């Protein structure tokens, strides 16, 4: 996507590498014939966002991301990995083994398939690479086409009206509403109920501080009060890619903390400040990569493991989400080996590598939205791996599954932190949770270099991959047969 910010070179690559590793950890029998890739009939996911009329504002009637006003230099591909000091040191020997394997896969991935920007030839090449890798392990591979309406890059998503105003490097929220709105700007704190003035917000653009409640709740609350657009500024330095969980009612964009503070100062200094928010749509094509072992029965249900493989522009996308892609692939290899030794799981296992996550979770939404009632009922749980580049291994998701994951980690010498983030924040597991499918999201809890050119391969801490891989595989033992009627 032209000029879309480096959300994290790291985050995307690490998770992709991890998922590939997980697939590998279920490797197919050595004598298994190569499975054939099939292309599913094109099912168009037209994820158009509905624009709403903007009362008392000039209007013509939208994905959690980051952006820069101009292209960043492409992150160089490194010939070798510079060792980083991990904050998560696995004491489990299996975690150490899988950390090394995941890093090897991640190195190959970032060398040949970076960037993998959503909807581009780079993303398509990565999808084909993943498909070949899975076929070589004996999996039957299907490519599910996804057609997405998305918000292309613009340097003026948000601008302040008047001479001498500072330029703002805003980023549209995933699932933002559409529109071109000019209106007075009003600060409403964090958009709690008590922050909304008694007279409402008719015809204004709401300036909101990030934190404590979801983006969706913030945007919906100000929209219900009459606001015609929302601008959410960060609560720490730098910008971010914010994502709503469903189509937004009004245009919504994000700003960095620094820019948010500048705008707040202008509001204090002047009696009125007007802004313009412009968020419009374009079309792109992508694909999900779906893999299963041939002959699996779904009579006892299905567990889905996966993560996204796409990236933003100008980045290696090592951590986000090369780590998850490699983890899942390696897990698949291990599990295929177990299957060949008659140690297979009682239920079917399905690996899915989602496209177009970076601009709004569109690949996973498309997959979930196109499940039949029977297919939906077969899914026992979804395990998602994303952004495992720095910090300590962490997990969020369905409460019961989080408890079981933490207990498994504690019993196996693994550090796994319970995240305080909302259960459905930030990644493809949210699409499953929103469809009432239990899900977990494994990640690394240090986002200090996200959205910066520093988010590269040498910054990846492999121990996070190993820890999450061990727990991910262990969770598969926690699930029981879900008989299908």
Domain coordinates in residue numbering, the chain: 9-50+66-150+282-476, 158-279
How large is the average pLDDT for residues 30-59?
37
**The pLDDT of residue 69:** 32
Q: Bridge-partner residues for 418, per DSSP? A: 395
pLDDT tens, residue by residue, 426-436: 899 999 999 99
CA atoms within 13 A on the CB side of 209: 15
Residue pair 277/158 in contact (Cβ under 8 Å)? The answer is: yes
Judge if pTM exceeds 0.75.
no
Q: What is the pLDDT of residue 57?
A: 40
- For residue 118, the model assigns a pLDDT of 82
* The two domains 9-50+66-150+282-476 and 158-279 share their CATH topology (first three levels equal): no
The pLDDT value given to residue 289: 97
Q: Alpha-carbon distance 200 to 439, whole Å?
A: 37
The predicted-structure confidence for 329-350, as pLDDT tens digits, reads as follows: 656 666 556 544 445 789 999 9
Residue of 242 and 57 predicted with greater confidence:
242
Q: Indicate the range of 11-20, 95-104, 174-183 predicted with least confidence.
A: 11-20
Q: Has residue 391 got a pLDDT over 80?
A: yes
In Å, what is the CA distance from 76 to each residue of 107, 209, 457? 13, 35, 10
Which residue is listed with tokens 């690490």?
14
Least confident of 51-60, 91-100, 269-278, 350-359: 51-60
**Does residue 71 have a pLDDT over 50?**
no
Percent of the chain with pLDDT over 70: 73
pLDDT at position 54 is 32
Per-residue pLDDT band for 19 (boundaries 50, 70, 90) equals low
Predicted confidence (pLDDT) per residue in 77-133, tens digit: 222 233 333 344 446 888 888 778 777 777 777 777 777 788 889 899 989 988 998
Q: Are strands 274-279 and 58-59 parallel, antiparallel or unpaired?
A: unpaired
Q: Does residue 307 or residue 106 have the better pLDDT? A: 307
CATH number listed for the domain at residues 9-50+66-150+282-476: 3.40.630.10
Quote the tokens at residue 474: 């262990």
Burial of 190 (0-12, 13-18, 19+ CB in 10 A): middle
Q: What is the pLDDT of residue 362?
A: 92
Residue 285: pLDDT above 90?
A: yes
SS3 per-residue string spanning the chain: CCCECCCCHHHHHHHHHHHHHHHHCCCCCCCCCCCCCEECCCCCCCCCCCCCCCCCCEECCCCCCCECCCCCCCCCCCCCCCCCCCCCCCCCHHHHHHHHHHHHHHHHHHHHCCCCECCCHHHHHHHHHHHHHHHHCCEEEEEEEEEEEECCCCCCCEEECCCCCCCCCCEECECCCCEEEEEEEEECCCCCHHHCCCCCCCCCEEEEECCCCCHHHHHHHHHHCCCCEEEEECCCCCCCCCECCCCCCCCEEEECHHHHHHHHHHHHHCCCCEEEEEECCEEEEEEEEEEEECCCCCCCCEEEEEEECCECCCCCCCEEEHHHHHHHHHHHHHHHHHHHCCCCCCCEEEEEEECCCCCCCHHHHHHHHCCCHHHHHHEEEEEEECCCCCCCEEEEECHHHHHHHHHHHHHCCCCCEECCCCCCCCCCHHHHHCCCCCEEEEEECCCCCCCCCCCCHHHCCHHHHHHHHHHHHHHHCCCCCCCCC
Say what the pLDDT of residue 79 is. Answer: 26
Does 407 score more than 90 pLDDT?
yes
pLDDT at site 50 = 29
Q: Which residue has the higher pLDDT, 4 or 42?
A: 42
Least confident stretch, 36-40, 252-256, 321-325, 414-418: 36-40
Per-residue model confidence (pLDDT) at position 269: 84
The whole-number pLDDT of residue 131 equals 93
Tell me: the pLDDT tens digits for 131-152? 998 898 889 999 999 998 877 7
pLDDT band at 24 (very low <50, low <70, confident <90, very high): low
| Residue bearing the bigger pLDDT, 182 or 42 | 182
Give the pLDDT of residue 42.
Answer: 37
pLDDT of amino acid 17: 60
Whether residue 280 has pLDDT greater than 70? yes
**CATH number for region 158-279:** 3.50.30.30
Does the structure show a pLDDT above 60 at 73?
no
- Is the model's pLDDT at 401 over the cut of 80? yes
């Amino acid at each position: 996507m032209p000029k879309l910010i480096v959300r994290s070179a790291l985050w995307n690559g690490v998770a992709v590498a991890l998922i590939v590793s997980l697939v590998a950890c279920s490797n197919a029998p050595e004598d298994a014939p190569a499975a054939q890739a099939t292309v599913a009939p094109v099912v168009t996911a037209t994820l158009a966002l509905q624009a709403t009329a903007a009362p008392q504002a000039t209007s013509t009637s939208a994905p959690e991301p980051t952006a820069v006003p101009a292209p960043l230099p492409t992150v160089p591909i490194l010939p070798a990995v510079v060792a980083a000091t991990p904050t998560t040191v696995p004491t489990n020997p299996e975690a150490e083994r899988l950390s090394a394997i995941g890093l090897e896969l991640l190195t190959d991935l970032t060398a040949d398939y970076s960037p993998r920007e959503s909807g581009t030839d780079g993303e398509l090449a990565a999808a084909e690479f993943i498909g070949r890798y899975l076929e070589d392990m004996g999996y039957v591979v299907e490519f599910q086409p996804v057609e997405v309406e998305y918000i292309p890059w613009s340097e003026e998503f948000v601008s302040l009206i008047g001479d001498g105003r500072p330029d703002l490097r805003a980023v549209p929220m995933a699932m933002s509403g559409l529109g071109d709105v000019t209106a007075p700007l009003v600060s409403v704190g964090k958009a709690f109920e008590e922050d909304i003035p008694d007279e409402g917000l008719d015809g204004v653009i709401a300036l909101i501080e990030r934190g404590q409640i979801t983006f969706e709740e913030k945007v919906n609350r100000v929209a219900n009060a009459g606001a015609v657009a929302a601008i959410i500024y960060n609560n720490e330095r730098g910008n971010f890619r914010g994502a709503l969980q469903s189509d937004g009612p009004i245009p919504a964009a994000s700003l960095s903390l620094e820019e948010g503070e500048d705008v707040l100062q202008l509001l204090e200094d002047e009696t009125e400040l007007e802004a313009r928010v412009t968020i419009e749509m374009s079309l792109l094509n992508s694909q999900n990569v779906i893999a299963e072992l041939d002959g699996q029965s779904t009579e006892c249900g299905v567990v889905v493991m996966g993560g996204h493989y796409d990236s933003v522009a100008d980045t290696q996308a090592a951590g986000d989400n090369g780590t998850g892609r490699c983890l899942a692939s390696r897990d698949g290899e291990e599990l295929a080996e177990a299957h060949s030794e008659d140690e297979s799981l009682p239920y079917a296992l399905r690996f899915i590598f989602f496209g177009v996550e970076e601009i709004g979770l569109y690949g996973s939404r498309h997959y979930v939205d196109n499940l039949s009632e029977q297919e939906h009922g077969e899914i026992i749980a979804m395990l998602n791996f994303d952004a495992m580049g720095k910090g300590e291994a962490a997990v969020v998701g369905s409460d019961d599954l989080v408890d079981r994951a933490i207990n498994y980690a504690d019993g196996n010498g693994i550090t796994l932190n319970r995240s305080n983030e909302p259960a459905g924040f930030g990644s493809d597991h949210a699409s499953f949770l929103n469809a009432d499918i239990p899900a977990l999201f494994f990640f690394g809890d240090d986002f200090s270099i996200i959205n910066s050119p520093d988010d590269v391969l040498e910054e990846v801490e492999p121990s996070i991959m190993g820890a999450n891989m061990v727990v991910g595989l262990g969770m598969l033992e926690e699930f029981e047969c879900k008989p299908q009627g």
